[in-house]
A and B are shown apart, each in its own frame.
Chain A
């Protein structure tokens, strides 16, 4: 069965520092995709970044980058130069092609940025 693990329930980081949010996954499907979403206290789900299993390079989107280590089945989100507005819940999610694009989420990490 597919599974997403986020081992950090909460993190506190000083403003302007970089932060890494961990995500490991388990799948037997060779074709899959990994997403990161941000959910502020207002509740909306905001897409941040995507990494495909066959992508040769780590994904980057502005201050967000994904440290993808396929052999270790990890897809950690790196936020550079953190800002107060980065305080939110962060979810890692996985899509499996062979499961009709079923998408499941991890338990999330609550990130607090300190001024």
Chain B
């Protein structure tokens, strides 16, 4: 039973379109993360948040933006999609107050930009 939800599961969109990938969690976790992963490859951190109204960029240069207005919601937006954005996007969350709390992952959004 998933406690972290990502929508849509699959998305095919044309170049230049604006898209928002949704991520919500019901666990009350304060830390949330977005990773980009090509199939079978490493996870690249693109954004993370340690609480409401706090966001940071990860190591992978990204043209996306995020917001954290509510604890449970951490959407990722691409203002103008390009074929290079084709990938899987994984959202994750964890309880920051517990040092050994693991990341809980959503099922991912597989994005294809044509």
Q: How far is the CA of A102 from the CA of B56 in the complex (A)?
A: 9
Instruction: Report B's interface with A, CB cutoff 8 A.
Output: 31, 33, 35, 40-45, 48, 50, 54, 56, 58-59, 88, 90, 92, 94, 96, 99-100, 102-105, 107-108
Within 8 A of B (CB), among A85-115: 89, 91, 93, 97, 100-108, 110
14 A-B residue contacts at CB 8 Å?
A1-B59, A33-B100, A47-B103, A91-B42, A97-B99, A101-B31, A101-B50, A101-B94, A101-B96, A102-B56, A103-B94, A105-B42, A105-B43, A108-B42
Q: Nearest residue in A to B90 (C-beta to C-beta)?
A: A45
Contact in complex: B43, A100 (CB < 8 Å): no
Q: Nearest residue in A to B43 (C-beta to C-beta)?
A: A105
Contact in complex: B41, A47 (CB < 8 Å): no
Cβ proximity bits A65-90 to B, threshold 8 Å, 1 near / 0 not: 00000000000000000000000010
Question: Measured between C-beta atoms, what is the minimum distance from B53 to chain A in Å?
Answer: 13
